[in-house]
Amino acid sequence: MNILFFTLVDFNTISERSIYTDLLREFVKHGHHVYSISPTERRKHIRTTLIQEPGSTILKLRIGNIQKTNIFEKGLSTIAIEPQFIYAIKKYFYSVKFDLVLYSTPPITFSKAVKYIKKRDGAVTYLMLKDIFPQNAVDLGMMKKSGIGKIIYSLFRKKEEQLYEQSDRIGCMSKANVQYILNHNPKVRKRHIIAKKKYGKGMVEVCPNSIEPIDLKINDDERNALRKKYKLPEDRVVFVYGGNLGKPQGIDFLLKCLYSQRKNEKVFFLIVGEGTEFYKIDRYIKKYRPENIRLYNWIPKEEFERLIASCDVGIISLDYRFTIPNFPSRLLSYLQAKLPVLAITDPNTDIGKVVEENGFGWWCKKNSVGEFEEMMTEILKRDRKAMGKKGYLYLRECYDVGVVCEKILGK
C-alpha cells in the first residue's frame, strides 16, 4: 500500500525519533511504502528535493517562513501551503496512486490537498487530530468570537470544518477529545453515528500519540554523572519539565507553584524548553534567586532523554483556561523514562485522569497553589519508582506505535 503523509514537521529521515517518524517506520515494517511531504522554510536556503530511503520517500518542499517570523509573513506563508502541497503532489508524485492519506493538525489548512488526492486516487483519508484550532486560540484570548475578531475566527472555523469533511476517519488523542469533537461538530457526529450503525464502529476514535519505546534504564553512576553535569542535587527529588514554554503551558500559574516551594530543601526543579514564555521563568529566577530550580533553553535530544531518566517526577503543565482537552506528547517521554507524572492542568483534559486512574501520577486541576502543595507532600511519601514502572507498562500497552499503526490500518 502507498501511504502519503502531510506534515509541517521538518525531518530528513524516518530514522529520526519522534511521534511521527516512529509511526512511519512502523508502516514500513508492515511492508507499506510511505511518501512524506516535510517542508523546509525559506530561511534555510535549501531547494526542494526528494530523499529516497528503503520503504520511504521524503519530499523536502521549500515553503515560506512560518516559525520565528513576523505575523504578516507567517500569515502569507500559511495561506500558501495548500496550493504548494497540491503543486508538489502533481509534480513529484504524479505517477503514484495513494491508498491512504495521513495528516495531522496543526495546521488545519490541508483540506484542499486532501480533497485532491481523495478525488484523484480514491484514497482513504485519516486525520490524526493533535490540536483543536481555532478554539484553543479563543481559550487563551488570542482570538475572539465577537466583534471584528469574529471574521478571523469564522474563517479558521470554516477551514477546520472543511478538514473534518474531507476526513474518512478522525483519530483523537484521548476519549475526552473524541467526545469534544462529537459534541461541537454536528455534521461529524451524524457521520459518526451512521458509520457506527453500518460498520459497528464510528469514524471518530481514540488514536493517541505514540512512539517506539526504548528502555532508558540508567545505572547509579550515570545518573549521578548527569546530575552533576547539569548541576542537579543528588539528594533531592528532582522534578523535570521539558517542552514548549508558551501560552498553552500556563507558565504564570506554574511559577506560582514553584514560588510556593522555593524554600523546600527536599525538592528541585529542572526546566528545559524554548518559547515565548521562557523569559518569564528567567526573570523569576533572576528576581527571587531560588536555590532549587535550574533552567536550560536547550539540551541535545538524546542526552535530554537520558537526563529525564536521571530525574524523579515529570511535570506536564497546561493553561487553566482551556476548554479543549489537550493531551501533550511529552507524557510519552516521561513514561519511557519510567517517571511518574504530575499533571498541572485545566479540568477539561483527561490526561490527569489517565495518570491517576492507572496508578502512575497525580492530577492538580483546581488552579490552586494549595492543592499543588498538597500534591508535593503526597509525592514525597509515595514509591515513585514503582509508579514509574506502571507508567512504562502502560506506555507499551497503549502508546506503542505498533498498536496505533494497526488501529489506523483498521486491524
pLDDT in tens, 353-365: 999 999 999 999 9
Calculate mean pLDDT across residues 27-31: 96
Half-sphere exposure of 22 (CA within 13 A, CB side): 16
What pLDDT sits at residue 148?
85
What pLDDT sits at residue 46?
85
What pLDDT sits at residue 360?
98
The DSSP 8-state label assigned to residue 241 in this structure reads E
Which of 378, 343, 367, 106 has the alpha carbon at shortest distance from 237? 378
Average pLDDT, the chain: 93
Contact 149, 104 (CB under 8 A): no
Give the count of beta carbons closer than 10 Å to the beta carbon of residue 45: 8
What pLDDT sits at residue 152?
87
What pLDDT sits at residue 126?
97
What pLDDT sits at residue 185?
97
Cα–Cα distance measured from residue 55 to residue 29, given in angstroms and rounded to the nearest whole number: 8
Which of 19, 41, 161, 43 has the alpha carbon at shortest distance from 102? 19
Cα–Cα distance measured from residue 102 to residue 321, given in angstroms and rounded to the nearest whole number: 30
C-alpha dist (Å) from residue 399 to 205, 358, 393: 14, 14, 10
What pLDDT sits at residue 273?
94
What pLDDT sits at residue 6?
92
User: In the predicted model, is pLDDT for residue 216 greater than 90?
Assistant: no
Surface-to-core class of residue 97, CB atoms within 10 Å of its CB (0-12 exposed, 13-18 middle, 19+ buried): exposed
Q: How far is CA 105 from the centre of its chain?
A: 10
What pLDDT sits at residue 67?
72
What pLDDT sits at residue 42?
84
Residue ranges and CATH numbers for the domains of the chain are: 2-167 (3.40.50.2000), 220-398 (3.40.50.2000)
Give the model confidence (pLDDT) of 306-316 as tens digits: 999 999 999 99
State percent of the chain over pLDDT 70.
Answer: 99
User: In the predicted model, is pLDDT for residue 71 greater than 70?
Assistant: no
What is the spatial order of strands in the sheet that 341-344 belongs to? 293-296, 267-272, 237-242, 313-317, 341-344, 361-364
What pLDDT sits at residue 110?
87
User: In the predicted model, is pLDDT for residue 70 greater than 80?
Assistant: no
User: In the predicted model, is pLDDT for residue 322 greater than 70?
Assistant: yes
Which of 28, 21, 40, 33 has the alpha carbon at shortest distance from 96? 33
Alpha helices in 310-410 (DSSP H): 330-336, 351-357, 369-381, 384-398, 401-408
Give me the phi and psi of 410, to 5 degrees please.
80, 25
Cα–Cα distance measured from residue 46 to residue 125, given in angstroms and rounded to the nearest whole number: 30
Alpha helices in 263-383 (DSSP H): 278-288, 301-309, 330-336, 351-357, 369-381
Give the model confidence (pLDDT) of 346-389 as tens digits: 999 999 999 999 999 999 998 899 999 999 999 999 999 999 99
Among 45-54, 73-82, 104-113, 235-244, where is mean pLDDT lowest? 73-82
Query: Model-level pTM?
Result: 0.93
Cα–Cα distance measured from residue 331 to residue 326, given in angstroms and rounded to the nearest whole number: 12
What pLDDT sits at residue 68?
67
